[in-house]
Structures are given as C-alpha cells and as structure tokens.
Amino acid sequence: MSTDNGNTIKRRVFLQGASLVAAGLAFKPLRSQAAETEAQDFANGTRELVAYPQKRPLMRITARPPHLETPFSVFNESVLTPNDAFFVRYHLANIPASIDADNYQLQIKGLVDKPLALSLSELKALGKTVEVVAVNQCSGNSRGYGSPRVFGAQLGNGSVGNARWTGIPLKAVLEHAGVQAGAKQVTFRGLDHPVLPTTPEFVKALGIDLALSDEPMIAWAMNATDIPFLNGYPIKLIVPGYFGTYWVKHLSEIEVIDHTFEGYFMEKAYRVPDNDCQCVPPGTVPDKTRPIGKLKVRSFITSLQPGDKVNVNEPVTLKGFAFDGGHGIQSVEVSEDGGRHWQLAVLGESLGNYSFREWTLQWQPREKGKVGLQVRAKGGQGEQQPVKALWNPSIYVKNNIETTPVTVV
C-alpha cells in the first residue's frame, strides 16, 4: 500500500472473546481465543482470518466445508496470486483428509475407445507439458456488494486469483482414450462428495468442442509447485477464460457422454439468464437460463483501499489489475470525477490473454476532499464494464465499474 494513514472502512480488528461488535452486528459465536478479522464494506461483511493448511490467514466463509476468500490487499503484492493466499471453495463437506499422490488415479470412461485409469506419472507421460497463466474467479465473486442481496456465499472481491498452471492439455488425454462419434459433453468429478447420499454430487460438464479445444488443461502444478491441497491437489481441471465452477479439484473421473448432463450443479445451480447481459431487472426471475460460462471484463485498484488518505499535490502511483474472458485487455482507464473524464493507464507486461494484466497510473490529487476513484477496462473484443451493476437472482458475473473512495488531505 502506498499510504499507511488511518483508513476507516477497511480495517483489521483484533477481537477478544465474545464481547465484540463489528459492522453493527454482534458476532455471538466466538470463543475465548482471539480472532483477527477483516471488515468489508457491505452489511454483515466482517470475516474471521484463519490459517488453513498451506495457507496464510484468509477470510473464512465457511469452516465446513472449507471455503476461504483472499483479503483484497494480497492483490497488490504481485500479478500472480501466491498459492498460500489463493481462495478456496468447496461445496460439499465430505472431502479427503489425506491424498496419496503415488496411488492417485484418474479415470477416463464413457464414449471412448479405450477407457483409462491413469496414475499421475502415466498422465504426465501422455503428452507435452504445457503452461498457462489464467484467472480463476468464483461465479459469485463480489456477491456481497450486490443489491438487492441474495442468499448464497457472501463473497467480497477476493474470490479470484491468478496463477501459472502447468499440466497437460485435456485434449491430449481425451484423444489418447479416443473420443467416439456422438460425444456431446464431457463430465468431470473430483474427490469431494456430499455428506448425505441425498445431496447431489458435484459434477460439472463441458461441451465436447470446448473439451477438445486447446485451452482446457489438467494441471499438477500451480506457480511452479504442487497445487495446495485445498485448491485441488494433486490435479485440477483448468478451463482458462471460464468461471471457477468448472475448475474441478482433486480431479478423479472424466466421462464422455452423448447427451446434455443433467446433474444438479449444471441443471439447477450455476445458471445465468439466457440473454446477452446475463441479467434481469433487480428482484425479478428470468424466463430462461443457461449454464454460466466465460469471465466478463473487470478491473480493480489495488494500491489504495477504500478509506485511504492521500496527500494533496503529492503524486501517487495508482496500481491495479484487469482481466477478461481470454481476449486480453485492450485498455484501462481511471476517473477521479465520477466518470466525466478518463485517464489512460499504462499496461504492465502481458502474461497472456487469460492472465491478470497489471496497470499503473501516476495521479496527482489537486484538491482536498473526498474522491471516488473509478477504474474501467476494455476487453480484447471491445467489451466494457457497465457503470451500474447488472443483477441476476444468484448475483453471478458481477463486473460493474468499481469505485474506491479515498480522501485527499
């Protein structure tokens, strides 16, 4: 952070015992041990910071199953999100406590000539190792900032991360098994299962064309080291440009099928209105929906946090990141006057079209008072961010222009 003056909205509070009141809401449930928390600027947005295996303290969304969000300040550290700070998202609580990579098996079955049961070393030997830097973002990232609020995981802006993934193209594995005529979709499941047999399994599906395209990958390394356990060790499906719901962790089974998969997490959950904006008037229900797909263009300021103070007439380097669904960022602009004038930022080195793109801008605050710094990006196909947040019943794909309120002193 470029300023360390007192900041009002975003703060870390040290809490002791049960006597705390945060963001106007009492948290009854803490015990005697102290918990550090991170406040976010939406109702009931304060989260405990808890260290999980291989992770630094992250914002806890749920303890069981583990569901952790990255504190936003992390994104100012580097363009690649450190593994120990990368968000964690499970849906179902019956997850393994221990995984033996030496005895791990990935099955490929269904409409294939040759069903396979691959060990990790067999998988790695199947083809050329490839690498991609790609953004993994939760479908519901930023849901907590939506309005009207809806039930679901109450996420801030930190359920996103950017990492260098190393693995083998999914295509190479499918071709090795021999995809048969009539294949329509490919389904993916991992080692995370429901607690009760009455709860649907977490299974995701990709269309056969996407599955056989160049991008999807089965990765075994994240930022040049093993994938952390809670991010899907030892192998994870990577679908660059697509929301994280498809990035199946602890990938264990791939099935080629001749129909549209009807499982709960495709047919009922993770669906967006079937129109261009993937939106409906706030509070209404769409007539038709489709499975969620690609990331929309987004951009953030990371060098200043809401509530920070900056000195008048002292130049500040603003910094942040932008990304889109895989066409690469064309431009990033910043406004200090509510969107009347926009200044072009300088883009940092490109790590590929699926990556965060860093941007910087020299800014000289000229007048004392409150300023809402806005940032907007243009995607590779000219796609822009809406000024006002679009809405859908699950608050997915939120990507409006963000405003960081700061005070010039």
Partner 1 sequence: MKRVFGQYKALLFAVCTLPIYAVASPLTINLPAETIVLRPSDLPGYVVAQQKCGICHSADYIEYQPPGFNQKQWTGLARKMKESYGAPLSESDVGLVGEYLAATYSGKPAVESKPAIKAIEVASNTVDKPAVVDVKTLLDQNACLGCHAIDRKVVGPAYHDVAMHYKGNAQAISQVIDHISHGGSGRWGEIPMPPFPGLQPAELKQLADFVLAQ
Q: Which two tokens stand for residue 207?
A: 């269309």
Q: How far is the CB of 152 from ligand HEC (least distance, A)?
A: 5
| Sole binder of partner 1 in the list 10, 149, 164, 184 (CB under 8 A) | 149
- Contact call for residue 285 and partner 1 (CB under 8 A): no
Q: How far is the CB of 99 from ligand HEC (least distance, A)?
A: 21
Closer of 199 and 407 to ligand HEC (Cβ):
199
61 binds, among partner 1, ligand HEC, none (CB under 5 to 8 A by kind): partner 1
- Provide the binding-site residues for ligand HEC, judged by CB under 6 A: 91-92, 151-153, 195-196, 198-199
Residues in 184-203 at the binding interface with partner 1, rule: CB under 8 A: 191, 194-200
Q: How far is the CB of 231 from ligand HEC (least distance, A)?
A: 16
- Residues that bind partner 1 (rule: CB under 8 A) add up to a total of 62
CB 227 within 8 A of CB 233: yes
d(CA 289, CA 20): 42
- Contact call for residue 378 and partner 1 (CB under 8 A): no
Stretch that binds partner 1, among 61-69, 127-135, 254-262, 389-397 (CB under 8 A): 61-69
b/e burial code for range 221-241 (CB count within 10 A of at least 16 → b): bbbeeebbbbbbbbbbbbbbb
Q: How far is the CB of 39 from partner 1 (least distance, A)?
A: 13
- Contact call for residue 52 and partner 1 (CB under 8 A): yes
Phi, psi of 171 (to 5 degrees): -55, -45
Q: How far is the CB of 199 from partner 1 (least distance, A)?
A: 5
Report helix, strand or coil for 176: helix
Q: How far is the CB of 199 from ligand HEC (least distance, A)?
A: 5
Q: How far is the CB of 147 from partner 1 (least distance, A)?
A: 10
- Contact call for residue 110 and partner 1 (CB under 8 A): no
- Contact call for residue 42 and partner 1 (CB under 8 A): yes
* Residues sharing a CB contact under 8 Å with residue 198, sequence separation 6 or more, in sequence order: none
* Residues sharing a CB contact under 8 Å with residue 273, sequence separation 6 or more, in sequence order: 279, 280, 286, 288, 289, 392
Report helix, strand or coil for 77: coil
Q: How far is the CB of 404 from partner 1 (least distance, A)?
A: 22
Phi, psi of 122 (to 5 degrees): -65, -40
Stretch that binds partner 1, among 45-53, 174-182, 238-246, 391-399 (CB under 8 A): 45-53
How big is the CA angle at 211 (ends 176 and 287), to the nearest 5 degrees? 155
Closer of 54 and 384 to partner 1 (Cβ):
54
- Contact call for residue 263 and partner 1 (CB under 8 A): no
C-alpha dihedral (237, 112, 214, 378), degrees to nearest 10: -60
Binding mask 16-35 for partner 1 (x = CB under 8 A): -----x---xxxxxxx---x
Kindly give the pairing relationship between strand 369-379 and strand 329-335. antiparallel
- Contact call for residue 283 and partner 1 (CB under 8 A): no
d(CA 251, CA 232): 7
Residues in 209-238 at the binding interface with partner 1, rule: CB under 8 A: 225-226, 228-230, 233-234
The Cα-based distances of 325 to 7, 71, 301, 322, 406 in angstroms read 33, 23, 19, 11, 30
- Contact call for residue 98 and partner 1 (CB under 8 A): yes
| Sole binder of partner 1 in the list 71, 144, 241, 379 (CB under 8 A) | 144
Q: Which two tokens stand for residue 23?
A: 């963001």
| Torsion over CA: 179, 185, 191, 196 (sign) | negative
Helix (H) or strand (E) holding 264, with range, is helix 264-267
Closer of 175 and 201 to ligand HEC (Cβ):
201
* Residues sharing a CB contact under 8 Å with residue 181, sequence separation 6 or more, in sequence order: none
226 binds, among partner 1, ligand HEC, none (CB under 5 to 8 A by kind): partner 1
Closer of 79 and 93 to partner 1 (Cβ):
93
- Contact call for residue 165 and partner 1 (CB under 8 A): no
d(CA 293, CA 204): 12
Residues in contact with partner 1 by the rule CB under 8 A: 21, 25-31, 35, 42-44, 47-48, 50-55, 60-66, 83, 92-102, 144, 149, 151, 153-154, 191, 194-200, 225-226, 228-230, 233-234, 264, 268-269
